[in-house]
Every structure is written in structure tokens, then in C-alpha cells.
Amino acid sequence: VAAVVWVRRNRANFVSIPATLVFVVYAIIPGTSTFLASRSILQGAAEAPFFALLGLCNLASGYLRWADDLSDDAALEGRPVHPVARARERVKVARHTLWVLLVVVF
């Protein structure tokens, strides 16, 4: 109760964050993840193959997040899943195989 009273009295002192900034950050995070995964793949081609496998695993994770979003949107809107997102099960198996390989190699 005391915390609620304190928050109500000091509400004007809190910093408000514009909604646009929240959505921009939310949109930047997957792009950054994909960029870093691609960078790891290229770094693995030049230095150590381990980095290439790690980059492929991270890129597969990014694809799975994106494909899950597309599938959820399609289910909500009652339309068929986009053909690009239909490879989820195969990518899940490939990512799991890569993950096991990375654990064994490491």
C-alpha cells in the first residue's frame, strides 16, 4: 500500500518513454541477431569453422522466431501459413543437430 501511495505521489517524476522508441528497439533486436549470426558465419569461413556452425545455429534460431510469428499471425487471421514459414520443423531438427554438434566439438 505504501509503495502505491509513493508511486502516485511521484508519478510526475518518472521518465516516460515514447511508444515509438519501444517499437524501434523491438524491431532492431531481431535484425541485430541476424547480423551477428551472419558475421559469425563469415568469421568462421575465415578463422575457425566453429564460428560458422555457431552462426548457422543462431541464424536458424532467428528464422524460427520469425516463422513462429508468421504462423501465429496466420492462425489469428484465419489464413494459410506463408510458404516461407513452412520449413519450421526441418529447421528445428537441423538446429538441434547443430546444437548437439557444437556441444560435442566444444
Res. 13 pLDDT band, cuts 50 70 90: low
Element (H or E) spanning 67, and its range? helix 49-77
Q: Please, how many CA atoms are within 13 Å of residue 98, restricted to the half-sphere of its CB?
A: 19
Q: What would the grid cell of residue 54 be?
A: 555457431
Give the side-chain half-sphere CA count within 13 A for 80: 4
Per-residue confidence band for 49, with pLDDT thresholds at 50, 70 and 90: confident
Total length of the chain = 106
> Cβ of 98: how many Cβ atoms within 10 Å?
19
pLDDT in tens, 19-46: 788 788 888 988 899 999 999 999 988 8
Q: Work out the number of other CB atoms within 10 angstroms of the CB of residue 1.
A: 5
Model confidence band, residue 79 (pLDDT cutoffs 50, 70, 90): very high
pLDDT of residue 27: 84
